[in-house]
Amino acid sequence: MKKVRLIAALLLLLFVSGASAQSQAVFSGHIENKEYGVYIFMDFYHSAVKVPGQEIFGEVAGYLGQTDDSRKWIVVEAEVATPKQALLTMVNDYGSEDLTATLTLEDDGSYTLRQEEGSALKIVRNRKWVKLPKKLSLHRPAR
């Protein structure tokens, strides 16, 4: 009987630690939107991301970049409000524009970046500034 309780307790501990590790990974890693050619590298739990070529910023919570331009939107503050939603404060790499946004993990495994207040997220396409939609869907890249 003691062995059964011990095994049950170990299985419960394993299940709880596995669930905890999975929720930790929600706002850590790389997500992308291929239509707009943008991506987000993030670690909202430890703020341990360095922006390539812009290490002067030190370690930050993350950044939004694009595949064919070096400009970045830096996540200077990230608060994981719920297991599926983070509140973000972002600034462009010049420091001239900022905004607040939410990043939400959807039930289908995709993410939705929703611009709430402040400047519009803009990227460069064909040497022209283009505003990203207020609501942008991102996905983890296929392995």
CA distance linking residue 97 with residue 34, whole number of Å: 24
Work out the end-to-end distance of the chain between its first and last CA atoms, rounded to an integer number of angstroms.
Answer: 44
Q: Region 19-27: what's the mean pLDDT?
A: 62
pLDDT, position 139: 98
Model-level pTM greater than 0.75?
Answer: yes
Look at residue 40 in the predicted model and tell me its pLDDT: 98
Tens digit of pLDDT for each residue in 86-114?
999 999 988 899 999 999 999 999 999 99
Work out the mean pLDDT of the chain and round it to a whole number.
Answer: 86
pLDDT surpasses 50 at 15: no
pLDDT at 3: 52
Neighbours of 91 (CB within 10 A): 20
Asked whether the predicted pLDDT for residue 23 surpasses 80, the reply is no
- The predicted pLDDT at position 126 comes to 87
Average pLDDT over residues 38-42: 98
Residue with the bigger pLDDT between 21 and 108: it is: 108
Tell me how long the chain is: 143
Residue 121 pLDDT grade (very low, low, confident, very high; cuts 50, 70, 90)? very high
Distances (CA, A) of 17 to 14, 20, 76, 112: 5, 5, 29, 27
28 vs 22, higher pLDDT: 28
Contact 138, 32 (CB under 8 A): yes
Query: Given pLDDT bands bounded at 50, 70 and 90, which one contains residue 1?
Result: low
Q: Which of 59, 112, 71 is nearest to 88 (CA)?
A: 112
Contacts made by residues 86-94, CB under 8 angstroms, sequence distance 24+: 86/27, 86/44, 88/61, 90/64, 90/121, 92/119, 93/51, 93/54, 93/57
Distances 78 to 27, 32, 35, 86 between C-alpha atoms, Å: 10, 18, 25, 6
Tens-digit pLDDT profile for residues 53-66: 888 889 999 999 99
